[in-house]
Amino acid sequence: MVTSKILLYYAFQPVADPDAIRLWQKELCEKLGLRGRIIISKHGINGTVGGELDACKLYLRATRERFNLDVKWSDGTGLTEKPQVMHGKDRSPRWLQSVDFPKLSVKVRDELVAFGLPDETEVDENGVVGGGTHLKPWQVNEMVENQGDDVVFFDGRNAWEAEIGRFKDAIVPDVTTTHDFIREIESGKYDHIKDKQVITYCTGGIRCEILSAAMIKRGFENVYQIDGGIVRYGEQFGNDGLWEGSLAIFDGRESMDFAPGAKKLGHCRVCGTESVFVANCNINKCKQRFVSCEEHKTAGCVEHSTLTATN
């Protein structure tokens, strides 16, 4: 029986020739029938790929020969009915492909995460230089228990992601793209927490590697990040920790819960119905994401739709 799996991973390590890594990764994924999104920069590699379990294992083994990856596994939705078609003299196994990703994209970018800090970000063989202190999930709970109101959660994701799930009493910056974060933390809005114990968090941990370093350089004194991000925290505590709601994700699943019965925080932008579904605005090719119910998933975002919330 074949099993569908998804890998979420990243590594901050100096890359001398990003384009060579791009070509190698593209060939490797095509050979194994994997689809998803991979970004390579001079700072390292970041990817989410899905396919057959055995193919994912082979991919991980090969990629770990070059990169010290931080990896999270999750179950995929399913696999295609027919294997990819191999051409020419290639005798590789024919793999089924993930239905969670429509295609394979492998690109070179200036940054792994587009904060607009390609020259400010420094990495060495140990990762990001000057980033926040890593906390294991249990250490997060311990810090909150011991220090109470002196601990502040700071969401390192786009604001729409926090609509369906976030840490209890977290600060959610008013950002729609990662580029907005530097403007936000330099605005003065958060100066009152510069002497607090600030725990940054994001989906898998990668955004906080950069964000925490940027905050420290801008005067935040005690900055931390959750080792492995929300995913690893949720895997350990399910619905019994400080995380509330569902996690927004970037594949065909759109969102996920860590355990049955997760609290419903999200509400449809149009009718107010409880929902964990996140839709893309397709009006004028906008692509802004918003929470909707099934009925209103084509309604569009606030800017491009004439439909407004009823409550």
Report the relative pairing of strands 44-52 and 4-12 from DSSP bridges.
antiparallel
Burial class of residue 269 in the structure, from the number of CB atoms within 10 Å of its CB (0-12 exposed, 13-18 middle, 19+ buried): buried
Name the β-bridge partners of 6: 50, 74
Residue with tokens 């905050």: 215
- Please confirm, yes or no, whether 202 is among the known catalytic residues: yes
Cβ–Cβ under 8 Å, residues 135 and 224:
yes
Taking the CA atoms of 201, 202, 204 and 206 in sequence, report the sign of the dihedral they define.
negative
Q: How far apart are CA 2 and CA 96, in angstroms?
A: 9
Joined together, the tokens standing for residue 269 give 């932008």
**Contacts for 199 with CB less than 8 Å, ≥ 6 apart:** 135, 140, 143, 151, 152, 153, 154, 167, 224, 225, 226
User: How many H helices and E strands in the chain?
Assistant: 7, 17
Q: How far is CA 41 from CA 2, 108, 131, 217, in A?
A: 33, 6, 18, 22
Q: How far apart are CA 45 and CA 41, in angstroms?
A: 7
3-state secondary structure of 178: coil
Q: How far apart are CA 179 and CA 173, in angstroms?
A: 12
Catalytic choice (202, 208, 268, 281):
202
Q: How far is CA 179 from CA 86, 116, 211, 255, 304, in A?
A: 40, 6, 11, 23, 22
User: Which residues have a catalytic role annotated?
Assistant: 202
